[in-house]
Amino acid sequence: MKPKDETKIKQIFTATLHLVKENGLAGITMGEIAKAAKIATGTLYIYFKSKDELINALFTDCRKEAVNIYFKAYDASAPFKIGFKTIWLNLLKFRMEHFEEAIFLDQCYHSPFITETTKEIARQMIQPLYKLVERGKKENLLKDIDSFMLLTFMVGGIHEFVKHSIYSGKKISKPQIEQLFTLCWDGVKD
Amino acid sequence: MKPKDETKIKQIFTATLHLVKENGLAGITMGEIAKAAKIATGTLYIYFKSKDELINALFTDCRKEAVNIYFKAYDASAPFKIGFKTIWLNLLKFRMEHFEEAIFLDQCYHSPFITETTKEIARQMIQPLYKLVERGKKENLLKDIDSFMLLTFMVGGIHEFVKHSIYSGKKISKPQIEQLFTLCWDGVKD
Amino acid sequence: MKPKDETKIKQIFTATLHLVKENGLAGITMGEIAKAAKIATGTLYIYFKSKDELINALFTDCRKEAVNIYFKAYDASAPFKIGFKTIWLNLLKFRMEHFEEAIFLDQCYHSPFITETTKEIARQMIQPLYKLVERGKKENLLKDIDSFMLLTFMVGGIHEFVKHSIYSGKKISKPQIEQLFTLCWDGVKD
Amino acid sequence: MKPKDETKIKQIFTATLHLVKENGLAGITMGEIAKAAKIATGTLYIYFKSKDELINALFTDCRKEAVNIYFKAYDASAPFKIGFKTIWLNLLKFRMEHFEEAIFLDQCYHSPFITETTKEIARQMIQPLYKLVERGKKENLLKDIDSFMLLTFMVGGIHEFVKHSIYSGKKISKPQIEQLFTLCWDGVKD
DNA sequence: AATGAATGAGTTTTCATTCAT
DNA sequence: GATGAATGAAAACTCATTCAT
């Protein structure tokens, strides 16, 4: 007996992410995914009942990975700015090192593949970010502004910078990261 | 593409934008566009030779509209901060009032529809933004940082805030706009 | 504008019936149906949303035609035996002259295509046959036996004889028909 | 086909018959058969080289069983009517107690699975029935009519009655059987 | 020009069959 | 032999595009 191969799922995910980065969600076919994953089309359907299900599973997987990275090495008991920077760097790290995932997640929000439920679950996952921002406001370290605005502002700069950097083939250097952080911090600090 | 009826093109564009916002580029068909535009499929092909051409024409149209709005009421001879805020507000305005166009443009960047040339032309159109930022640095009003970073930072906050606001059905108020500007300005100012 | 072609449905039905007679329900594909109907596969889907729907529509159509033939020239006010023979001949006529339809209907009863509802509707359609048999019993011309049994008996002989005749390529002659009727009548008469 | 395990073949046959009764020949897959037989798909191919072969083997098996039952307790030297009734009852018995087999056999006649040869062999097996009918005619106990017609008539009533009884969930009682025999006998007797 | 039915290439999905374990 | 994952050809279905009206 040959057991269902766990690594195959990774292959499929990797292949899909790559294709989506290249051609967008509009430009992928199950055939191409299979070929890129070096398996037969039929095999795809052993692991995922349909294209929809594959995309949804990948979406969930990417979201989980994102959240894992967001809170890595985050110490809630450390001083606020330390924690803030840790997470800020993690957000950047995810966008940089998992660019394909990031692109894929972005594309999914306007797609017929992802169900509203899946989206809702994704929204839940970033709740801890709200907590962090709230603490910053309580300690008078962040501007006393709607948390939602603070968060989208903080995140937006990262997203846009990384996206355009990678698209234009620009490397992102350590000093640049510090500069970008300063831009963000000067913006949000009280 | 022999535009006999200019309003029909608008209908087609509007229909397409709406569908893309709802279902993404991956989720639109020529049939659906025609139905949404209340014309026959065949008629679509009187106005656009192909789906590609339709998407590209719409892309160019949206880009042009965006740029028109970006520089509206912008007086290059006015003091820097005035000009900066004007443009910042315009960027926001476009994202808010032309949300569907904005979404569409975003989606196009990762799609098999838009050619590299078209993308390049789009990039050219925002050159004046670079000029503005450069002036700000020269006048020591902006941080002396890579213009690309300043721009993506400035724009990213807007994009992310508007996107998530609209998605969650939140209205954006005047005071909020001022707050968001403050966040951005505090970030970029020297 | 080209209106949806009514004759195309007939073409599709005819093609399907022919293929089912040759290969059974298990042996037909949408591709073959299209080819046999001399249209493109896609065209099939303009007229029927799915294979299921095509089969169901054909089933309903055949059933209706069957019933139309069953009661043709039937005069309820004529003496019982006249009416009985008229209908008996009609049943035979349908089986002989619409052999493909008959085969198709038979096959459908054990198929994943036909819904229970469609089957139920079909059962309703033969209610008048029960009425006829009941009258025969009341007039003491038929054996006083469960109508259901009388009917299945009467019909079974026809079905089996026609089926095997046609399969073995035997022509059915007028005298044979009279003989078969005698067999049936001697069986059911009181 | 190397039958190691005779019971496994029975399982496969039983599973197939059941599935065909439920969904028709058009609605069975090797995967479903395997699952219903509680074995792996691959195992199916140890016992049968192909789907065709499985169906053909089952066909032959069912035919043999049918014939075994048809002539059970039949004494060719007994008076004609005794023999006739014995066989008539056996035909009914087979249809009633082996309904799934009967359905399966019926379906096979219009299927791409069964070869013409296999069908021919099946036809041969009922030759003794012809002999019986011929004897009846010779003894002036049966109408002097084409044997083929007498046989299909005799058999058709049984088939139709049992089929519709079982479909509508009706039990068949002893007295009913006698009534049905009377119908048949009154029809065929001279 | 406008229409929408027709087309058929391309996509998703299924399934008989094979094969590694 | 037994298993069930893997395969890929074939089937169902879609959709950009054409064409007759």
Confidence of residue C68 (pLDDT cuts 50, 70, 90): very high
User: How near does any CA of chain D get to the CA of C3, in Å?
Assistant: 34
D72 in C contact zone (CB under 8 Å): no
Q: What is the pLDDT of residues D139-153, one digit of tens each?
A: 999 999 999 999 999
Tokens of A17: 């992410």
DSSP D67-128: HHHHTTT--TTS-HHHHHHHHHHHHHHHHHHTHHHHHHHHHHHTSSSS-HHHHHHHHHHTHH
Higher pLDDT pick, A117 / D50 = D50
Confidence of residue D4 (pLDDT cuts 50, 70, 90): low
A51 CA → E17 C1’, Å: 24
> So what's the pLDDT on residue C2?
65
Contact C170 D148 (CB under 8 A): yes
B172 in A contact zone (CB under 8 Å): no
Instruction: Measuring from the CA of residue D44 to each C1' atom, give the nucleotide at the shortest distance.
Output: F2
- Nearest of D17, D50, D47 to residue D33 by alpha carbon: D17
Residues in chain A closer than 8 A to B167 (CB atoms): 109
User: How near does any CA of chain A get to the CA of B185, in Å?
Assistant: 7
Q: What is the pLDDT of residues A54-81, one digit of tens each?
A: 999 999 999 999 999 999 999 989 999 9
Q: Which of residues 36-65 of B touch strand E (CB under 7 A)?
A: 39-43, 45-47
- Give C2's contacts (C-beta < 8 A, 6+ positions apart): none
Nearest CA in chain D to C182: D187
Confidence of residue C126 (pLDDT cuts 50, 70, 90): confident
- Nearest of B120, B126, B125, B176 to residue B150 by alpha carbon: B126
Higher pLDDT pick, D139 / B6 = D139
Write out which nucleotides of chain E lie closer than 7 A to a protein Cβ: 1-21
The answer, yes or no, to whether residue D5 has pLDDT greater than 90, is no
> So what's the pLDDT on residue A2?
65
CA distance C4 to C8: 8
Name which of D27, D153, D179 is nearest C183 (Cβ-Cβ). Answer: D153
- C in contact with D (at least 3 C-beta pairs within 8 A): yes
The answer, yes or no, to whether residue C175 has pLDDT greater than 50, is yes
The answer, yes or no, to whether residue D123 has pLDDT greater than 90, is no
- Nearest of B103, B91, B99, B72 to residue B158 by alpha carbon: B91
> So what's the pLDDT on residue B79?
94
Q: What is the pLDDT of residues D21-48, one digit of tens each?
A: 999 998 899 999 999 999 999 999 999 9
CA distance A169 to A165: 6
In this complex, the chains that touch A, judged by 3 or more CB pairs closer than 8 A, are B
In this complex, the chains that touch D, judged by 3 or more CB pairs closer than 8 A, are C
Beta-ladder partners of D189: D142
Q: What is the pLDDT of residues B153-169, one digit of tens each?
A: 999 999 999 999 998 88
First-to-last CA distance in chain B? 50
Ramachandran bin of B24, using left for φ above 0, alpha for ψ from -120 to 50, beta for the remaining angles: left
> So what's the pLDDT on residue A118?
86
Establish whether the CB of A29 is closer than 7 Å to any nucleic acid atom in strand E.
Answer: yes
**What kind and span of H or E run contains D49?**
none
Instruction: Measuring from the CA of residue B41 to each C1' atom, give the nucleotide at the shortest distance.
Output: E4
| Average pLDDT estimate for A126-130 | 89
Contact C26 D112 (CB under 8 A): yes
CA distance C118 to D150: 34
Q: Give pairs for B36-39: CB < 8 Å, separation 24+.
A: B37/B8, B37/B11, B37/B12, B38/B11, B39/B8, B39/B11, B39/B12
Q: What is the pLDDT of residues C73-107, one digit of tens each?
A: 999 899 999 999 999 999 999 999 999 999 999 99
Name which of B24, B156, B164 is nearest A157 (Cβ-Cβ). Answer: B156
- Nearest of D188, D93, D184 to residue D135 by alpha carbon: D188
Q: For residue B128, give the amino acid letter.
A: P
Confidence of residue B139 (pLDDT cuts 50, 70, 90): very high
Confidence of residue B15 (pLDDT cuts 50, 70, 90): very high
pTM (2 decimals)? 0.91
Confidence of residue A4 (pLDDT cuts 50, 70, 90): confident
Contact C152 D161 (CB under 8 A): yes
Confidence of residue A147 (pLDDT cuts 50, 70, 90): very high
| Average pLDDT estimate for B30-54 | 96
Tell the residue number behind the tokens 């009734």, with chain if given.
Answer: D85
> So what's the pLDDT on residue C6?
81
Name which of A23, A149, A170 is nearest B180 (Cβ-Cβ). Answer: A149
- Nearest of C26, C93, C78 to residue C55 by alpha carbon: C26
Contact A107 B112 (CB under 8 A): no
DSSP chain A: -----HHHHHHHHHHHHHHHHHH-GGG--HHHHHHHTTS-HHHHHHH-SSHHHHHHHHHHHHHHHHHHHHTTT--TTS-HHHHHHHHHHHHHHHHHHTHHHHHHHHHHTTSSSS-HHHHHHHHHHTHHHHHHHHHHHHTT-B-SS-HHHHHHHHHHHHHHHHHHHHHTT----HHHHHHHHHHHHHHHB-
CA distance D154 to D131: 14
- Give C38's contacts (C-beta < 8 A, 6+ positions apart): C11
- Nearest of D94, D95, D74 to residue D84 by alpha carbon: D74
Among residues of chain B, what percentage have pLDDT more than 90?
A: 80
Q: Give pairs for A80-85: CB < 8 Å, separation 24+.
A: A80/A135, A80/A136, A80/A139, A80/A141, A81/A141, A83/A132, A84/A132, A84/A136, A84/A141, A84/A185, A85/A181, A85/A185
Q: Output the average pLDDT for chain B.
A: 93
DSSP state of D27: G
> So what's the pLDDT on residue B1?
43
- Nearest of A130, A128, A146 to residue A74 by alpha carbon: A128
Residues in chain A closer than 8 A to B184 (CB atoms): 153, 187
The size of chain C, in residues, is: 190
User: How near does any CA of chain A get to the CA of B4, in Å?
Assistant: 30
- Give C31's contacts (C-beta < 8 A, 6+ positions apart): C41
| Average pLDDT estimate for D174-182 | 97
Distances (CA, A) of C48 to C2, C4, C12, C59, D69: 18, 12, 10, 13, 45
CA distance D81 to D133: 11
Q: For residue A14, give the amino acid letter.
A: T
CA distance B90 to B72: 7
Q: Which protein residue has its CA closest to C1' of E8?
A: C40
CA distance C181 to D148: 15
For an interface test with D, which of C180, C181, C189 has the most D Cβ atoms less than 10 Å from its Cβ?
A: C180
- Give C138's contacts (C-beta < 8 A, 6+ positions apart): none
> So what's the pLDDT on residue B122?
86
The answer, yes or no, to whether residue B2 has pLDDT greater than 50, is no
Delineate the domains of chain B, giving CATH numbers in brackets: 1-49 (1.10.10.60), 51-188 (1.10.357.10)
- C in contact with A (at least 3 C-beta pairs within 8 A): no
Count CB atoms within 10 A of the CB of residue A126.
Answer: 14
For an interface test with B, which of A16, A108, A149 has the most B Cβ atoms less than 10 Å from its Cβ?
A: A149
Instruction: Measuring from the CA of residue B40 to each C1' atom, give the nucleotide at the shortest distance.
Output: E3
- A in contact with B (at least 3 C-beta pairs within 8 A): yes
Query: What radius of gyration, in Å, describes the C-alpha atoms of chain B?
Result: 18
Contact B22 A110 (CB under 8 A): yes
Confidence of residue B41 (pLDDT cuts 50, 70, 90): very high
> So what's the pLDDT on residue A168?
87
For chains A and B, CB pairs below 8 A equal 141
- Give B162's contacts (C-beta < 8 A, 6+ positions apart): B92, B95, B96, B99, B102, B172
Query: What radius of gyration, in Å, describes the C-alpha atoms of chain A?
Result: 19
Q: Which protein residue has its CA closest to C1' of F15?
A: B29
CA distance C22 to B101: 56
> So what's the pLDDT on residue B103?
93
Q: Which of residues 21-60 of A touch B (CB under 8 A)?
A: 21, 23-27
User: How near does any CA of chain A get to the CA of B131, in Å?
Assistant: 18
Name which of A21, A164, A186 is nearest B152 (Cβ-Cβ). Answer: A164
Q: What is the pLDDT of residues C25-61, one digit of tens each?
A: 988 999 999 999 999 999 999 999 999 999 999 999 9
- Nearest of D118, D125, D183, D176 to residue D154 by alpha carbon: D183
Q: What is the pLDDT of residues D68-117, one digit of tens each?
A: 999 999 998 999 999 999 999 999 999 999 999 999 999 998 888 998 88
**What kind and span of H or E run contains B145?**
none
